[in-house]
Amino acid sequence: MMPAITARAHTNIALVKYWGKADTEFILPQTSSLSLTLDQFYTDTTVEFDEHLSADEVTLNDQRLSEKASQKVHTFLNLVRQMTAGTSFARVSSTNHVPTAAGLASSASAFAALAGAASKAAGLNLDKPALSRLARRGSGSATRSIYGGFVEWQAGHDDADSYAVPIAEQVDWPLAVVALVLDPHHKKVSSRQGMQSSVTTSPYYAAWRDVVAQDLAAIKPAIRDHNFQVLGEILESNAMRMHALTLSAQPPYTYFNGDTLMAMDAVRELRDQGVPCYYTLDAGPNLKIFCEKPAVPAIKQRFSELFGATNVIVAHPGPGLKFLA
């Protein structure tokens, strides 16, 4: 039996979105994307390969998962076993400090942590690009959670060249992200289902590829120059154009709810009042509000009044994958 390894990975929020796969088996994206890793949302995962096990055992938040519920983890572990020619099953224990499947990228931290812990527990010593490639096979956004700070997932053309690269791992900029937990429950349309529907049925999908290319070209200088206004304008418009793909799919669907729309209006009202802030959201109803630290008190107060203080979480740029044991 090999020693157990524990890894921690943080979730990330995409500023220029990935929405659609070019290859579903290898999870190759239609476009590149760019994100910010956050410090407040993370997953701790311990993996131990044990020759005495007759099947993989997966525990999430102290609850043993059924064979069906753990199938994605089992499939991912098979990739690791193929890399090492190993045959032992694994004991996986994961604690998720993220509301699962609510648009806060829980799959990103989950599969990045699993990639780190499983590969090392299997005796591999992968560098970060290789870990990023491996994490991608579990969840596309997980490829970015290997790194901290600002990260670009380069779409590439195949399994070998589709992985994340750091843009600015150490963020020397007083950025903050105010996360609103408007609905912590599982979403009705998964990200994978939603992406496929948008790619195949939205008449605007070809234009989306152009939007992403333009936004990536514009946002990198904004990050380099600490230009918050340009950063905010890009991340907000990119999010809304992504969600336009959900509304223009056939049949149309949306991740918004009433509170989402109320929160969007409140962000615009704060901006009109002189509080610089911009919103983004992924496949879920929960807004993430980007600001600089001096604006946090006003934003936190406003949204605590609207939704309750316990549903308003302040995060900052976070670190990449690390091993705890």
What pLDDT does residue 296 have?
A: 98
Domain assignment present for residue 320? The answer is no
Q: How confident is the model at residue 102 (pLDDT cuts 50, 70, 90)?
A: very low
CA-to-CA distance for 89 and 91, rounded, in angstroms? 7
Q: What is the pLDDT of residues 49-86, one digit of tens each?
A: 999 999 999 999 999 999 898 999 999 999 999 999 98
| Final residue of a structural domain among 171, 206, 227 | 171
Q: What is the pLDDT of residues 194-251, one digit of tens each?
A: 999 999 999 999 999 999 999 999 999 999 999 999 999 999 999 999 999 999 999 9
* Contact yes or no for 287/268 (Cβ under 8 A): no
Strand runs labelled E in 174-310: 175-180, 278-280, 288-292
110 and 66 in a common domain:
yes
198 and 118 in a common domain:
no
Domain assignment present for residue 217? The answer is yes
| Final residue of a structural domain among 139, 171, 203 | 171
188 and 147 in a common domain:
no
Q: How confident is the model at residue 187 (pLDDT cuts 50, 70, 90)?
A: confident
104 and 197 in a common domain:
no
Domain assignment present for residue 92? The answer is yes
User: Measured in whole angstroms, how far is the alpha carbon of residue 76 from the centre of its chain?
Assistant: 18
Strand bridging mode 57-60 / 89-97: parallel
219 and 77 in a common domain:
no
89 and 236 in a common domain:
no
Domain assignment present for residue 78? The answer is yes
User: What three-state secondary structure class fits 168?
Assistant: strand
Q: Which residues contact 21 (CB under 8 A, 6 or more apart)?
A: 27, 28, 29, 30, 140, 195, 196, 199
pLDDT at 183 over 90: no
Burial category of 266 from C-beta neighbours within 10 Å (exposed 0-12, middle 13-18, buried 19 and up): buried
153 and 81 in a common domain:
yes
Domain assignment present for residue 39? The answer is yes
pLDDT at 160 over 60: yes
Instruction: Indicate the Cα dihedral angle 134, 30, 105, 183, nearest 10°.
Output: -150
pLDDT at 48 over 90: yes
Domain assignment present for residue 325? The answer is no
223 and 144 in a common domain:
no
The CATH number of the domain where 22 resides is what?
A: 3.30.230.10
188 and 154 in a common domain:
no
pTM of the model: 0.95
220 and 183 in a common domain:
yes
* Contact yes or no for 193/4 (Cβ under 8 A): no
Q: How confident is the model at residue 186 (pLDDT cuts 50, 70, 90)?
A: confident
88 and 70 in a common domain:
yes
209 and 72 in a common domain:
no
Domain assignment present for residue 79? The answer is yes
pLDDT at 258 over 70: yes
| Final residue of a structural domain among 171, 187, 203 | 171
User: Which residue range(s) make up the domain with 242?
Assistant: 175-315
Question: Could you tell me the two tokens for 322?
Answer: 């690390």
Strand runs labelled E in 51-159: 57-60, 63-64, 89-97, 150-154
The CATH number of the domain where 194 resides is what?
A: 3.30.70.890
CA-to-CA distance for 155 and 142, rounded, in angstroms? 13
Number of domains in the chain: 2
